[in-house]
Structure formats: structure tokens, C-alpha cells
Amino acid sequence: MDNNLTVLYEDNQIIVVVKPQNVPTQADSSGDKDLLTMIKEYVKEKYDKPGEVYIGLVHRLDRPTGGVMVFARTSKAAARLQEQMKTGFFEKKYLAVTVGVPRDRQGRLSQYLVKDEKNNMVRVVPAAVEGAKKAELEYKVLEIAGSVALVDIRLITGRSHQARVQMQSLGTPIFGDAKYGGDKLAKGHNLALWAYELRFYHPVNKNPFVFKVFPPTDEVPWNVFPIESHIKVARPSI
């Protein structure tokens, strides 16, 4: 199965994988191979499934962002996981390296965002702007190295480009983010935003799951921080 897919866990209801950076979550206009298709091909081949394989998209990561994701293998599992997202039982945490250090070492951002579909850009706007959606996150600076900072981010909502735009609003864009001003020190490097932790309840047996995955610690700028001292990675209890 030559599709570069890292599977962390799978059963007959869900599959948890690591999304590679610069791979779209689902098919887009680029025509590039997407993660959803990779998972369908993996399941079809491994289990010798005839016909179309069902894989339900539960949540998304921006194309340049990598990290842990869960997909549903049944429509029932998809509906139950999506309900957890609405009720707050589905939690996503990210690591980011910012260009500059946030003035407040930790905080909660509550803003309104609107997306320009023509140029695929998101910006912070007043609440009264048509189409504006509330975006909330919590962040904490874990470590500072010169002019960059390692930041833990917990998304409370799940808006397009949310972490990237909200960190930019503090004057500290994410390293490698050419779209939102974080590429001044980072020409040629990947976006330093990684979905490192995912928490949810199994959609059928209700067991609590926690998955944690390191970012690529050998790459710039992750390699300037002792990531292992900030994240403890262990296999989930099943």
C-alpha cells in the first residue's frame, strides 16, 4: 500500500491517522492526492472490500497543517462524532511556532472571522459583518527561543485557517505561513502548525480516546525546541 498513510488506530467504526503536511484533507481543485482517498484505498485493499468504501469526514485540517485526525467508517459513527464536536466532547490541540512572542504568555481569543472564497483568505472582522463566524481558542507559550516561540493552542471552535489568523492578529504569525505573514524567517519551510492531540469518545462503546503525535522534530523550526519535554506521547487505552 504505497500511499504514505500512518494509521494509529482502526476498528470497524473509526480510523485514526496522521495527516501529512501539504496533503489536502479531501479532494480539491488541485487534483492532488488527498487523505480521504488514501484512507479509502487503504481500507479497500486491506479488507478486500468490493465496490465503494465509505469513509466519513468528521473534521478537517488545512492543507499545510499536519497531525492526528479521525475518520468514520460508518455513517452512524460519523453522526455521533460530529455531535461530539457540537457539544464540546471533541477536543483538538495544536503546537505552533510563532514568529515573535505573544505579549501575554497565555490567553483566550474570542473574535469573528470571515472568509473571502475568491482568494481563500480569512480575516478578523467586527461581529456585525455579514457572514462573520465566531472563533475562539486558548493558547499558552511553552518556550521561547530567540525571536520564535513554541505555543500550545486549543481550538474551541473549528473555523477555516482559525489558528493561523488569530495568532496573526496578535502580531505573531505562524512560522512558514506565507498566506498570513509568517514566512519572513521561513522561506522554503513548512508551516509550523501541527495537530498533536485529539480527544473524543468512541462513537459506539463510549470509551475515552486520547491520541498524541509529535510534529517532525528534525525539521526547522521544531528542532530548536525540546518537544519531548512538552508532550508525552502514549498509546491510548482501549
Q: Is the pLDDT of residue 133 over 50?
A: yes
Q: Is residue 183 part of a domain?
A: yes
Q: Is residue 109 part of a domain?
A: yes
Q: Is residue 93 part of a domain?
A: yes
Contact (CB, 8 A) for 146 and 162: no
Mean pLDDT of 230-235: 71
* Integer Cα distance of 219 and 3 in angstroms: 22
* Integer Cα distance of 204 and 80 in angstroms: 8
- Total domains present in the chain: 1
pLDDT of residue 110: 98
Mean pLDDT of 62-90: 95
Q: Is residue 204 part of a domain?
A: yes
| CATH code, domain carrying 43 | 3.30.2350.10
- pLDDT range class, residue 234, cuts 50, 70, 90: low
Q: What pTM was computed for the model?
A: 0.93
Q: Is the pLDDT of residue 232 over 80?
A: no
Question: Residue 170 belongs to what domain range?
Answer: 6-230
Note if the bond before 24 is cis, omega within 30 degrees: no
- Percent of the chain exceeding pLDDT 90 equals 82
Contact (CB, 8 A) for 156 and 137: yes
Active site positions, annotated: 62
Q: Is the pLDDT of residue 3 over 70?
A: no
Q: What is the pLDDT of residues 146-186, one digit of tens each?
A: 999 999 999 999 899 999 999 999 999 999 998 998 776 66
Q: Is residue 235 part of a domain?
A: no
Q: Could you tell me which residue, 110 or 237, shows the higher pLDDT?
A: 110
Count of CA atoms in the C-beta half-sphere (13 A) of 161: 20
- Number of residues assigned to the chain: 238
